[in-house]
Structure 1
């Protein structure tokens, strides 16, 4: 059997490791743990917060690292943060000024708290109506309902923002945001509802995954990344082996090195089997 060069796996959550039911399925859990037993480090790479990711790491049987907030933070399984790229007070103040101008509203991802407002709540209420539930633990969310409360958060450690509102207002807001040159911005649509994820310039999953590889003494050629969406582009391109899910849009599949099966047809486990556990089979 040929030995695989891969020593680090970066796995997106939604649409990749998780099925459409937002669960980790047994084939993925088994393949991931077999890879870890073979000496391959596993890292979740997600736009979610560390707290939102913890239950999925546990459901997967455990991982070694969690890259969260689209690459703004790298945390070990023991809870040690080895890398962070946060927003500055300037980022926060400018973002809030433009939100007020266009009638949209942010949520902010902090160390252990996510601050959210009425537009975020309406977004999740609509998701719950469409899907029957929302698979998110809201125990660490804190509601904000006044402009001065939002402004006070400029002194907090903020890793990421998500902006909610009417699609037309979001488009106008995003145009102004991009002109500042201060941010990374990814528009996304979930259950037909649009939102925009915001990080400080230079924050992305690819940069964070290579930082982790460097920390582990690995090269990019020893890294495999699996993903399905726009915020996975950078890690699919940074990794020595970028694996797109079959459920990914065409432009994501086009930039990856290979395409595996869908998230509901165990694409992650198939990729681990093919490229790590049985590379010469």
Structure 2
């Protein structure tokens, strides 16, 4: 019996416009009312998930969890609004500086640096600006490329680069890994980002870390996703699930491939049609 669902957000739980399908809301609420844990497992900051938790009706749970930054942090959120960082896997400033510098392969590179509580964006593109707005993601623009100010910020979780050309993203990945492959984990997401976490930090290991904290076995964990940064959690979970719009590589890894896309209530399809069967 599935007791914990780890769900990616963009292109999995959320519609393309960032909203939550009504079918998903009903199904998630029923799953939680029956005693299950529904936990967003996202590359984003946990603070950007608050609106989604509210839409799902999970913001009033006594204890709600979010896995964020591709496994960089597990956060407990209480009904009174209190936030407790249960686990964090950050990177040091010098590694972040190296990733940032290596990724600047051309003038139109948009770079995100996530600390534990803030998203900083350098050279934000119009496309990315629109994407952030649709999802109500708060961020602070960086006026220059000097990262020394991060010395005084919360721990750094990850560095990512945005571009709409997949060849540019791959070139960034190749450039960074040519020098830092022993220190970083590289993933791709949302057909627009290449992401770098410190080695050993991923959605799968963090998801199972949370399951252990909750007294839930691997066989009782399901993980849903669509893109390459979801591979680790789909492989780690007892039941790995790919939505219909998932990349072919993710469908190959999954135990269950759904017939519905993120825009058609794929999460509801899994909860209603597969749990307990």
Q: Structure 2 stretches of 5 or more lacking a match?
A: none
Cα distance per residue 1:101-149 (max 9 Å; x no partner): 665452211122111122x244424x56xxxx831335x422212233x
**Superposition deviation, residue 154 in structure 1:** 4.6
Q: Please name the residue that 1:135 is paired with.
A: 134
Normalised by the size of structure 1, how large is the TM-score? Answer: 0.85
Per the TM alignment, residue 235 of structure 1 is displaced from its structure 2 partner at its CA by 0.6
CA distance in 2, matches of 1:270, 1:172: 37
Q: Number of residues paired by the alignment?
A: 263
The match for 2:57 is: 61
> How is 1:36-75 mapped onto 2 (pairs within 5 angstroms)?
36-62=32-58, 64-75=64-75
Matched ranges for 1:101-140 at <5 A: 104-118=109-123, 120-125=124-129, 127=130, 134-137=133-136, 140=138
Tell me by how many angstroms 1:231 deviates. Answer: 0.8
Which residue is equivalent to 1:80? 84
Match of 2:144 among 143, 146, 149: 146
Work out which of the two has the higher radius of gyration on C-alpha atoms and give 1 or 2.
1
What is the SS of the residue equivalent to 1:187? strand
Matches for 1:144-183 after TM superposition, within 5 Å:
144-148=142-146, 150-156=147-153, 157-164=155-162, 167=165, 170-179=169-178, 180-181=180-181, 182-183=183-184
C-alpha distance 121-108 of structure 1, shift in aligned 2 (>3 A): same
User: 1:9·1:225 contact (CA, 8 Å) conserved in 2?
Assistant: yes
> Which range moved further: 103-112 or 207-216?
103-112
Is 1:8 paired with 2:4? yes
Q: CA deviation at 1:250?
A: 1.8
User: Structure 1's 29 and 253: CA in aligned 2 closer, same or farther, altered over 3 A?
Assistant: same
SS at match of 1:203: coil
Cα displacement (A) at 1:274: 2.2
Deviation at residue 165 of structure 1 after TM alignment: 5.4
Structure 1 pair 227/217, CA: closer, same or farther in 2 (3 Å)?
same
**Per-residue Cα deviation, 1:57-93 (whole angstroms, up to 9, x for no partner):** 1111116211111111111122211111111123112
